[in-house]
């Protein structure tokens, strides 16, 4: 069966003052119907760019250097702008971190929601209004009839993001891309929005591609996790295996740095063990493994040659010499399994 989304060897670059810089390199992933894939990484890992490429929202400096992005078997990169406009919002919807990117401050919530509805369906007039109210109710907005008449700035951040989600699901998209959808919200509201997305997915079978830097969100949501570092996939696994036994030293570091629930809600102030150093600038990548300057397991080979992405058991991929070289003894001894 053709997967809903299949990204194959995608590389994306940007034109900068210092020439073209590759920000996503040879990324491949597939998403099945109803699956939630989380792409996780620090800022500068290329995770947002990878997701924006799907709808070609890269801006004028973005360049698809190679690869294919097939949606239900069709390569989206071969679509005209006009064809893509039909797909955007109808088959594939995207939600960003800041809800005001999607909302227009000069129109009421109801106006904008009705517009999203009439654009992609035959519902007009009274029917569109009723559907809009129903959508606001589905996303947990109290008194939806009255919120229809409100302007976005009168709503809280959480309510705004709910309104954006209502717009995004109006046409029942098959793929929902959510780029840090809860990052701007406080922890309680964040949990509510994640629950909402899960609930909506259970009802509709929508595939969710969730971009986040927060492993807590990943633990909550993901079926499959893709870990990105400096433009490359460094590990991919089902969520259970990834948290049980992270293979890549970067993933291990992210999991160590993950605050416990108590810390997230401010109950205790447990210190976080964060990964030393920062993501390298993409125009000044270190030779060899891109993570080697920050890696506690770095060996000579790591500084000289880039490790390939290799399979490591069922549906698992990892890009690390420790996994590729059979001679390494007990590679993940100190950090595997929390
Ligand atoms: Fe660390 Fe080497 Fe693995 Fe890179 S290849 S993550 S430097 S052990
Ligand atoms: Mg981002």
Residue 315 is predicted with a pLDDT of: 86
Ligand 1: residue whose CA is nearest its atom 7: 292
CA of 301 to the centre of ligand 1 (A): 9
Contact at 8 Å (CB) between 61 and 14?
Answer: yes
Q: Which regions in the chain score pLDDT beneath 70?
A: 260-273, 326-338
> What local confidence, expressed as pLDDT, does residue 337 receive?
36
Distance CA 293, CA 332 (A): 18
The ipTM of this complex is 0.97
Closest ligand to C-alpha of residue 177 is 2
CA–CA separation, 46 and 50 (whole Å):
6
Query: Cβ atoms within 10 A of the Cβ of 101, count?
Result: 11
From CA 74, how far away is CA 87, in angstroms rounded?
Answer: 12
How far is 312 from 324, CA to CA, in rounded Å? 9
Residues having CB closer than 6 A to ligand 1 are 249, 289, 291-292, 295, 297-299, 302, 307, 320-322
* SS3 sequence of 71-130: ECCEEHHHCCHHHHHHHECCCEEEECCCHHHCCCCCCCHHHHHHHHHHHHCCCCHHHHHH
- Among 280, 285, 295, 309, which is best to mutate for testing ligand 1, by the most ligand atoms less than 8 A from CB? 295
Nearest ligand to the C-alpha of residue 232? 1
Instruction: Give me the pLDDT at residue 73, please.
Output: 96
200 CA → ligand 1 middle, Å: 39
Cα 96 to middle of ligand 2, angstroms: 9
At 260 the pLDDT is 62
Q: Which ligand is nearest to the CA of 247?
A: 1
Q: What is the pLDDT of residue 264?
A: 55
The pTM of the full predicted model, rounded to 2 decimals, is: 0.91
C-alpha of residue 166 to centroid of ligand 1, in Å? 43
Q: Which atom of ligand 1 is nearest to the CA of 290?
A: 4
Segment 226-249, tens digit of pLDDT: 999 999 999 999 999 999 999 999
Q: How many residues does the chain have?
A: 338
């Amino acid at each position: 069966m053709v997967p809903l989304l299949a990204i194959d060897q995608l590389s994306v670059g940007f034109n900068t003052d210092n020439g073209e810089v590759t920000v996503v390199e040879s990324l491949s992933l597939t998403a099945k119907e109803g699956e939630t894939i989380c792409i996780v990484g620090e800022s500068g890992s290329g995770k947002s760019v990878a997701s924006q490429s799907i709808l070609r929202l890269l801006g004028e400096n973005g360049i698809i250097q190679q690869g294919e992005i097939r949606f239900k078997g069709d390569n989206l990169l071969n679509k005209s702008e006009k064809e893509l406009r039909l797909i955007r919002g109808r088959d594939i919807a995207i939600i960003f971190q800041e809800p005001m990117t999607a909302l227009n401050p000069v129109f009421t919530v109801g106006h904008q929601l009705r517009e999203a509805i009439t654009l992609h369906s035959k519902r007009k007039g009274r029917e569109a209004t009723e559907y809009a109210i129903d959508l606001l109710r589905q996303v947990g907005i109290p008194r939806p009839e009255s919120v229809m008449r409100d302007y976005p700035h009168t709503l809280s951040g959480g309510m705004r993001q709910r309104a954006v989600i209502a717009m995004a699901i109006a046409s029942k998209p098959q793929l929902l891309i959510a780029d840090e959808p809860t990052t701007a919200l406080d922890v309680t509201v964040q949990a509510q929005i994640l629950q909402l997305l899960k609930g909506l997915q259970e009802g509709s079978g929508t595939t969710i591609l969730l971009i986040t830097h927060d492993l807590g969100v990943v633990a909550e949501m993901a079926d499959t996790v893709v870990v990105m570092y400096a433009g490359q996939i460094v590990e991919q696994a089902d969520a259970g295996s990834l948290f049980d036994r992270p293979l890549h030293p970067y993933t291990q570091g992210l999991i160590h740095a993950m605050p416990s629930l108590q810390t997230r809600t401010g109950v205790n102030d447990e210190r976080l063990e964060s990964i030393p150093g920062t993501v390298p600038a993409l125009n000044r990548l270190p030779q060899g493994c891109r993570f080697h300057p920050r890696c506690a397991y770095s060996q000579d080979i790591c500084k000289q040659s880039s490790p390939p992405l290799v399979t490591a058991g069922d549906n698992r991929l990892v890009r690390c010499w420790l996994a590729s070289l059979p001679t390494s003894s007990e590679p993940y001894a100190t950090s595997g399994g929390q």
